[in-house]
Structure 1
Amino acid sequence: MDGNFVVTDINSNILFEVKGKVLSMHDHRVLLDGAGNPIVTLKQKMMSAHDRWQVFKGESTDASDLLFSAKRSSMFQLKTNVDVFLANNIKEKVWDYKVKGSWSESSCVVYAGESSTIVAQMHDKDTVESILIGKDKFMVTVYPNIDYAFIVILDAINSSGEGGREWWFDFSGGAD
């Protein structure tokens, strides 16, 4: 199965591209910037009970280049509940970020640690185009000091990666 998708802005400029194979023996994806340069490699750990992914710098999969890992909070869940651990959080007793919501409904919130501090939010943006031709559009609010590529990485981990996606980024942090 093809795990490729493109993230564009409202002017159809390519912001990111995700390339890789899903449902293969070695499920991995590479996130490229708009110019085609590799930013990170996402690698799914096989035989993981909690659907664990590791994210590495560039095209590396070397342990020394690990940036963070993400795993589902429980083996069976109806709603999205993902724990994210930065590379230096070796014991993984407390997560560094928590994703809650419904990825399938494109409605998620990313929290900092165990707090109620929101660092990003994603929800569907219904437009005539999205309704008529089925092109997914998302409004993503990214709060200060959060790299918006991080949110795209979480999407690449949590979605099937089918089709193009158009993202509308709001960097105001939810302020009016």
Structure 2
Amino acid sequence: MSLGDSWLVYKGESTSTNPLLCVRKSMNILNNKCLAYVIPGDNTSNRSNNVVYEIEGSYSQRSCSVYDDRRRLAAEIKKKESVNGGVAYGNDIFRLVVQPGHIRTDFAMALVILLDQMFGSSRR
């Protein structure tokens, strides 16, 4: 669900519960590496210092890193590369690498879906 430049993540398909996460598109011109930041869903009123994940990189190049609140790498989105060479994959083929213990895999995939909503071909 989009609220301008904020997206809420719920468990399942019901919006009757509190959101798990709120993902906000970064508008900070001083930190142009940051694409978006993630805060707990129950704190949607302001950013404050409750950032649990920060997403940096370039989604159009499928080269993004997700950092946790202690700046540890939690997940990465990388272009799929051919093992034998000679095969060119499009931007729709990529790898999501999740670091165990730093982020849940379902949260990481939700972030990919939201990045596509924010920066994907449908937004150009």
TM-score, with length taken from structure 2: 0.74
- Between the aligned partners of 1:122 and 1:130, the Cα distance in structure 2 is 19
Tell whether the 8 Å contact from 1:123 to 1:139 is kept in structure 2 after alignment: yes
Q: How does 1:30-45 map to 2 (within 5 A)?
A: 43-45=1-3
1:74 paired to 2:32: no
Q: 1:88 to 1:65 in 2, by over 3 A?
A: closer
- Between the aligned partners of 2:93 and 2:86, the Cα distance in structure 1 is 9
- Between the aligned partners of 1:75 and 1:124, the Cα distance in structure 2 is 26
Percent identity over the alignment is 28
List alignment gaps of at least 5 residues for structure 2.
Answer: none
SS of match in other structure, 1:57: coil
- Between the aligned partners of 1:131 and 1:108, the Cα distance in structure 2 is 19
Structure with the bigger RCO (C-alpha within 8 Å, sep 6+) is 1
- Between the aligned partners of 2:98 and 2:61, the Cα distance in structure 1 is 19
SS of match in other structure, 1:81: strand
Asked which structure has the greater CA Rg, the reply is: 1
List alignment gaps of at least 5 residues for structure 1.
Answer: 1-42, 163-176
Tell whether the 8 Å contact from 1:130 to 1:136 is kept in structure 2 after alignment: no
* Runs of at least 4 residues off by over 4 Å: 75-80
Structure with the bigger percentage of strand: 1
Q: 1:92 to 1:135 in 2, by over 3 A?
A: closer
TM-score, with length taken from structure 1: 0.54
* RMSD, matched Cα: 2.7
Indicate the residue corresponding to 1:11 in structure 2: none
